[in-house]
Structure 1
């Protein structure tokens, strides 16, 4: 037998197969990228005015305070050179170990090689030194307005995070170790994952955060028993089946945000707020919003109030025979519930007995982490995109929210998927996070312009439906729950909005954790505590300074508050009734619709 007749070694055979797969995947990748939508430059980065403003401020800093700039540069050069010399000296002495690591620890660099291997440690330390120098330089620039400073800080942080050595194959020890262990198969699998994500998003790259096959809405998540008892073009109304013989007389309706879907409140039985509320003896209704397509282009905030809130409240009153309802609004749905309450106050309509607000903003005077996205260059681009598409696509919403936590929601998932070749985890919260929705064009622009940018609701008022609506028109008894580390609706901004509401009966609860975990916080887990205070709802810092910390979930405290405002106990109500036949079992049909734009 000649040498040419011999079969290649197993490793070589594996390599040949991998190369063949790479060639096929590369062809698919090129085909998928050809479907990419035309980019909107206004949504890809800040406008030229920010570059000019920041550049002018930097030049002024050079002219006014040259010593300050030189000091920063010399400090950076000194740190970088010192570390280089220490590393070189260690190698010259044959120690093959890096110099002492001054810290602080960064969880991106958890692999021991970042501390023990001279090559990786040198790269890590030089990156961290450069990152600190950039941050310090930007922080010392005078002459920037606060909004411009926040934007420069934000985009500087994005650049720093993007250039982390963990984001590149040649400087990521985890990915290199995996590639060696698998003889390159992990890289091939990573390319498969990359092609899959680009194909699934019409040429755009959106990292899949969760195994989409692991969950089925209505199958193993969103399974609380109930029925759709009303449907129109904007929402399905779900009434949940009672689990107690008696229920409170006054029904409760939840308005979830129409960014993402309502089943965040019913992910699984052990953390389902829906199930917990029903178990406490409340007749519960939940609105499930329609995922809009371009035919909803002219749907505005007024449409959501009239055909959504007011219609849903009327249907609940008709089904239960009660003259009033208690209402909950979550996030943007809480903002719109506030507008609805101000409208009902103008009309002297007493249909809402009490209101609960989850992580709700009504005072937008401090735009917080969204400052980067709420200036005219970006909002003008959003408006143009909405006019072209008829909706604000879920793609842009997902991307915006992800970049607020880019390491957690973009880079680390991308590393695991594309470099390590790992499948996405079976994580219900991330599955829900990826099940996003579009926003109607007019509604999206009105929300961004009138509320976020112009802060009309706490300012001059919002002219809508023949009335001028102001936050002071919210006069019903209310309970607001905010979350201590919420980066979407900061608790102080939420507090300031509640402080301006006209109600004489206000309760404020501050939950530990963030926008989702602080709300979906069941008592059985005893994970996050909460704060209450006897201080008046006027100054957030004084309120927090006098607050008492309570272990465990805020749910029971709020449940007791709600029970006091829900009337006597009556016989439990089954879903539907005369004139309201059951149209579908919960969680309904709208929640499973997928609309891509």
Structure 2
């Protein structure tokens, strides 16, 4: 939506001194921003990116550089030289402008989407500020990558902390160093910054002490209407889950149903956003009877639940219902942490020689956390005590707001600072986007469950070491001999491709591996009608690294969904009549998915 005060841009940059009233308005708004930001400073933000961790990261880097002073001195001189080249480039281009010639040098210019507006290079001051910032950003990244005497864990933590710091330091995030924001302010007689202040007030939850940055127009979506809208019934419910069975769209269906464990860190409808990109609706249309777990967001009733409780009340309860309804072994899929949960439960059932599972599918799900990427910088021994303290402060619950902050910090420019610039500095309205609506629809997590996950998987990697216990039984993925389909995404920053691939060697039987393009979400949600991203398949399963497997694989510019459907159909039995609706069963999407954090806050009050 375009603000009514938006006007066509002027051809020249005006001067603030031209309007005393405008100057006074800027002073007033700056004061109000400062007052509100001072109040918000009490909010610590993502725990893993606190000032303390930044100082520790800088000290760690300094200590490593101190062991090789010659390399450190060369790096410093390199930065000075690059900044000098930047200044010369801008000066030469300014002289070319003054002489009205086209003899401009662009060979050393660093391009970045956050400085894409022509105003950034139209004025030498802002050009130098933005280009110098990019020089510093690239130099710092290269310095950390090239510095010796850092362990891999230390390197990840230093990279993460400096990435947070430099992302925040960008001149695009400050009104007085952002020519686009200044010009918008002048063009609108200050109305843009006035709107930005109102947006900031709207997003700040003073009672909870947290800034919930708007990423999309939430009024454009309604759960059960235009997201999570695939027709179905809630066929089973307990204090932790609602089990949804989606209504058939074909005259006959495969006799073996498909049960999906989504992550509880977010709500299930990432796999059922809209009709055009719903994985569950597409699988239903291929003749599968699809069941989906909808997890309850943690509240005062479920805050004490742990991994065993989620496996029992969630996974086992769903398996029991689906198996007994169809009276045949079932296919089960898990996405992200839902897949990790599925792997532990499947290993337990395999050890018990349970007959209820027919095949397993894992989507962007880790089982070996040895190289879990940048997530290791967020969830580590260093941050564990702070996470535990946050859970105690919030009465046994890991708040969804803090979880969201942590995940957004993995992509700070895209998911944090871009919206800060657009919402608060430019005063723009957020736009409708189903994926960002889902991303902002956060869930709480029970404290014991979350701490177990961090300790047992990320820190100790117990599952990969055959040291994990479920229901007081030591389990091993090597006991799993059911057919296994493993999906990973090449650009995944939450479940890194190499990490997921390494887990395939933990299973006792054959595994089929597919690598999709894109990241943690788009690498999964890629409907065939779009075919936006392709995938690799048929690589050599004996190769130990994902990179080697990818080199041996075949690439198709095609969604990976048909490959999954083909694999499942071969393991889903004969075609039979669809199961009849259950009389008086509530309609999907149920109640749990509609519960918001605001609802839970009200219950606590």
Q: Match for 1:461 among 443, 446, 467? A: 467
The partner residue of 1:531 within 509, 531, 536 is 536
- Equivalent residue of 1:155, what SS? helix
* Structure 1 residue aligned with 2:7: none
Alignment check: 8 A CA contact 1:228 1:588 kept: yes
Change beyond 3 A, Cα 1:584–1:453: same
Matched, 1:521 2:526: yes
Q: Distance in 1 between matches of 2:176 and 2:376?
A: 35
Question: 2 CA distance for matches of 1:415 and 1:481?
Answer: 36
- Report the more deviating stretch, 532-541 or 295-304: 532-541
The change in CA–CA distance for 1:377 and 1:187 in structure 2 (over 3 A counts) is same
Residue aligning to 1:95: 98
Distance in 1 (alpha carbons) for counterparts of 2:280 and 2:337: 19
Distance 2:521 2:96 in 1: 53
Partner of 1:217: 223
Contact 2:541–2:549 (CA<8 Å) still a contact in 1? yes
| Residues in 1 aligned to 2:279 and 2:254: alpha-carbon distance in whole angstroms | 17
Work out whether residues 345 and 473 of structure 1, in 8 Å CA contact, stay in contact via their aligned partners in 2: yes
Counterpart of 1:8 in structure 2 is none
Number of the residue aligned with 2:132 = 126
| Cα 1:316–1:91 shift into 2, 3 Å | closer
Partner of 2:189: 183
Number of the residue aligned with 2:168: 162
* 2:74 counterpart (71, 85, 106): 71
Deviations 1:519-543 (A, max 9, x none): 1111111211111114125422332
CA contact (8 A) 1:485 1:514 kept: yes
Match of 1:588 among 587, 590, 595: 590
Match of 2:13 in 1: none
Q: Contact conserved, 2:57 with 2:161, CA < 8 A, in 1? A: no
DSSP-derived class of the 2:456 partner: helix
Partner of 2:347 in structure 1? 342
Q: Higher mean Cα deviation, 18-27 or 366-375?
A: 18-27
Post-superposition offset of 1:237 = 0.7
CA shift for structure 1 position 178: 1.3
Cα deviation, 1:136-190, whole Å, max 9, x if unaligned, reads: 4434432221111221122122222211111111121221221122111010000
Secondary structure at the counterpart of residue 213 of structure 1: helix
Q: Secondary structure at the match of 1:584?
A: coil
Residue 236 of structure 2 aligns to a residue whose secondary structure is: strand
In the TM superposition, what are the counterparts of 1:110-509 in structure 2 within 5 Å? 110-199=116-205, 202-320=208-326, 322-389=327-394, 390-504=396-510, 506-509=511-514
Q: Which runs of 5+ in 1 are unaligned?
A: 1-10
Question: d(CA) in 1 for partners of 2:152 and 2:37?
Answer: 43
Distance 2:45 2:485 in 1: 43
Residue pair 2:46, 2:409 contacting (<8 A) in 1 also: no
Matched, 1:54 2:61: yes
TM-score (norm 1): 0.90
Contact 1:357–1:479 (CA<8 Å) still a contact in 2? Answer: yes
How far did 1:296 drift?
Answer: 2.3
Structure 1 window deviating more from structure 2 (50-59 vs 307-316): it is 50-59
Cα deviation code 1:183-232 (max 9, x no counterpart): 11010000000111013773322211011111000011111111111110
Secondary structure at the aligned position of 2:220 is classed as coil
- Alpha-carbon distance in 2 for matches of 1:294, 1:496: 38
Range 305-314 or range 167-176, more displaced: 167-176
Separation of aligned partners in 2, 1:241 and 1:87? 63
Q: Secondary structure at the match of 2:461?
A: coil
Structure 2: gaps (5+ residues): 1-17
Structure 1 pair 361–112 and aligned structure 2 pair: CA distance change class (3 A): same
Helix, strand or coil for the counterpart of 2:98?
coil
Compared CA separation, residues 513 and 373, structure 1 to 2 (3 A): same
Equivalent position of 2:8 in the other structure? none
**242-251 or 458-467, which moves further after superposition?**
458-467
Query: Partners in 1 of 2:374 and 2:226 — Cα distance?
Result: 34
Q: CA deviation at 1:470?
A: 1.8
Which of 80, 83, 91 pairs up with 2:83? 80
